[in-house]
Chain A
Amino acid sequence: MAANIAGKKSSLTWAVHISVALLVLLWLFPTVGLFVSSFRTADQISSSGWWAALFPSEQNEVYRTGDPDENRVADGDMFVVTGNIFEGAGREIRAWGVSSKAVAAYQPGETAEMKDGESVTLQADGSYVWRGNDKQISGRGQRIFITATVPPEFTVDNYLTILFSGTGQDNMAKAFFNTLTVTIPATIIPIVVAAFAAYALAWMEFPGRALLIAAVVGFLVVPLQLALIPLLRLHLAIGIGKGYMGVWLAHTAFGMPLAVYLLRNYMVGLPRDIIENAKVDGATDFQIFTRIILPLSFPALASFAIFQFLWTWNDLLVAKVFLIDATGSTTVMTNQIVELLGTRGGNWEILATAAFVSIAVPLAVFFAMQRYLVRGLLAGSVK
């Protein structure tokens, strides 16, 4: 009986482990792919997949010896051209040849005998000796085909383009800071407002409190698209217009129901005795809020902050409606990536880099605060 239960449990554990592993892979595969691609050139992206970029690869390359007319040196009745096919970084040569029909006919160090005593010797380091008579050592240089193992090669040029040197839409620096300008106030304002509201809804007695809580729950299920146009008309009518103020207010309004709901649920679960003790100690409601409730609600505040940060950062719709005007000077990253898709649709290296720049900050925020996210969510709703 006990063994049965234990067996059941362990098979379930395996199922859990396997599904977790699958989820991790599902998330990791595209993210790592994007990350790797952002460090590759356009040619590399089009010639092989990102996974190939992580390992040394075999490539066939064509080189020419130095110009015989300038470089040849007499050696008895023969002429010799010596030199190195690699001008910059070397390659690890695995095989080579002198004809396009047999590109891998010789090993490094071997000598290729051609017609009428002409010969080429290629060493592993790329140095060659081309020997032949006057007629043979003339005209253009001898072609040398090599099969080489190329180490993984990465470049930060894409990032330089996107963040610093790019022109026009290629440069995301301004959009990056615009996004920060939208996101930080749009995260802080609703938290501050919602924390006050949540305290009142959780711990202050006033008529209509239950109705207000019900209304908050009701607002949770209202899709924000319903309110876009009326809200924009309101903003235009009262003179806020399109701009940062407008988008902050819009994000605040759209984030508020969840913020109030989460925080209120968390705060109402704090021990009543602590709050009553603070009352006996002489604390006013405001002091209870600032000295007791806020510090104790930190996990819930942090978890909502992560949420709000992530979706204001990734938001396109609200920014399009309330922020971005015809001048484009207030464009955010999501919008700029959409425009990049139009202008640089074929340049995957630019798109991948732009995408990675835009997900880097949310990733950092998420990993830095994920333990609060999990704790705050559980504490707030499940209890």
Chain B
Amino acid sequence: MTSLSLKNVSKSYGTVEVLRNIDLEIQQGELIVFVGPSGCGKSTLLRMIAGLERITGGELEIDGMVVNNVPPAQRGIAMVFQSYALYPHMTVYDNMAFALKLAGKSRAEIDTAVRAAADRLQLTEYLDRLPKALSGGQRQRVAIGRSIVRDPKVFLFDEPLSNLDAALRVATRIEIAQLKESMPDSTMVYVTHDQVEAMTLATRIVVLHGGNVEQFGAPLELYERPANTFVAQFIGSPAMNLLEATVTTAGETTTVCTTDGGEAVVPIASGASDADSNVKLGVRPEDLTITESDRFLVAATVEMVEALGETTVLYLKAQNGATSLIAKLPGIHAISRGTPIRLTAAPEKLHLFDNEGRSFLHR
């Protein structure tokens, strides 16, 4: 069942268009993550769903009802802000009860809902405290609790972990994942710029860039079959390497050769028109291996070595210094700076992108 649907939604401030023709169908029970670099419009899109920003084009439906002009409180949504936005002069209890009081619920109903949410988030002993007497993680939980008590159709999270320190971020991320599991029927939309949060939490990820949806799909689909070079380089860390290459043979499988004599047969179909065209050959750092053989993908010179123990990260220059590469090799390797090496990768791990950056798989 569709819980949230965006049809051709766009947003502009005057003549500046910040979001263009966003089309998303979100099913009930999904946790959708909007991810993208700063300024890509992901927070704006979330605020449009919340009703805090006016929608300047297209339609937004929640549970099959167009809500473009419905005020935030009547959309059946709850939002957790990046800054938590707790009411500083109210106790934790009053913070959580505020929305219910405004909705005119009875005292007993409010008490039940607040205590249930507090219990679930281990906040019971803090109910009488003011927000300033809580730690960052506890404040975050209050903010989440405040949205739970309202029992909304859609939860909206605006970078909820970005104010927490690294350790707490991991812990809270797991809490959110457990929260989602305990509420299988609620739909959640989660904005972040952190791809680890995106990959670990999401049912499906929306990658936004420059006001456009670059790709919408399950986390591993984005990793394995990125639709374009932006997604390819945004998902995964370190980012995917892109090599300049030329198609030598098109067909069921595509043969490409890199400019310094490397060659690969990629099991991706291409058309006759692709023959002899310049393409980008994508390969993830963790898929590269060192080879001595003449059948290599790319020859490169080691610029820097980061030995982390479990992995060794090599920073390389290839193709006459024109291309920077990163290789992430498992285990410990004794390689020194300036060493010329040859790298290869399994053919099924290779990606092909055309001149405009679109993947051959998504044309």
Residue ranges of A at the interface with B (Cβ–Cβ < 8 Å) = 271, 273-274, 276-283, 287, 291-292, 295-296
Contacts and interface: CB of A to CB of B under 8 A. Distances in A.
Given A280-B52, A281-B102, A273 B89 contact: no
Contact of A277 (B71, B74, B79, B89): B79
A274 B85 contact: yes
Contact of B73 (A282, A292, A296): A282
A204 to B, nearest CB: 14
B73 A280 contact: yes
A274 B87 contact: yes
Contacts of B50: 276, 280
Given A277-B85, A279-B52, A287-B102, 9 more contacts: A271-B85, A273-B83, A276-B79, A276-B85, A280-B51, A280-B78, A280-B79, A283-B98, A283-B102
Contact of B103 (A278, A279, A282): A282
Contacts of B14: none
A282 B52 contact: no
A281 B99 contact: yes
Interface of B: 50-52, 71-74, 77-79, 81-89, 98-99, 102-103, 146, 150
26 contacts: A271-B83, A273-B81, A273-B82, A273-B84, A273-B85, A274-B85, A274-B88, A276-B81, A277-B81, A277-B85, A277-B87, A279-B51, A279-B71, A280-B50, A280-B51, A280-B52, A280-B73, A280-B77, A280-B78, A280-B79, A281-B102, A282-B72, A282-B74, A282-B99, A282-B102, A296-B88
A276 to B, nearest CB: 5
B89 A295 contact: yes
A274 B89 CA distance: 11
A168 B162 CA distance: 72
A40 B84 CA distance: 62
B83 A296 contact: no
A279 to B, nearest CB: 5
A276 B52 CA distance: 7
Nearest to A274: B85
Contacts of A283: 73, 98, 102
Name, among B51, B78, B87, the residue most crowded by chain A CB atoms within 10 Å (CB to CB): B87
Contacts of B77: 280
A280 B72 contact: yes
A282 B70 CA distance: 12
Contacts of B82: 273
A23 to B, nearest CB: 34
B215 to A, nearest CB: 29
A223 B51 CA distance: 45
Nearest to A275: B85
B161 to A, nearest CB: 15
Contacts of A274: 85-88
A214 to B, nearest CB: 22
Name, among B51, B81, B85, B89, the residue most crowded by chain A CB atoms within 10 Å (CB to CB): B85
A240 B51 CA distance: 48
Contacts of A277: 79, 81, 85, 87, 146
Name, among A274, A276, A282, A283, the residue most crowded by chain B CB atoms within 10 Å (CB to CB): A282
A281 B88 contact: no
Top 7 nearest A-B pairs by Cβ distance? A282-B73, A273-B85, A281-B99, A277-B85, A273-B81, A295-B89, A280-B72
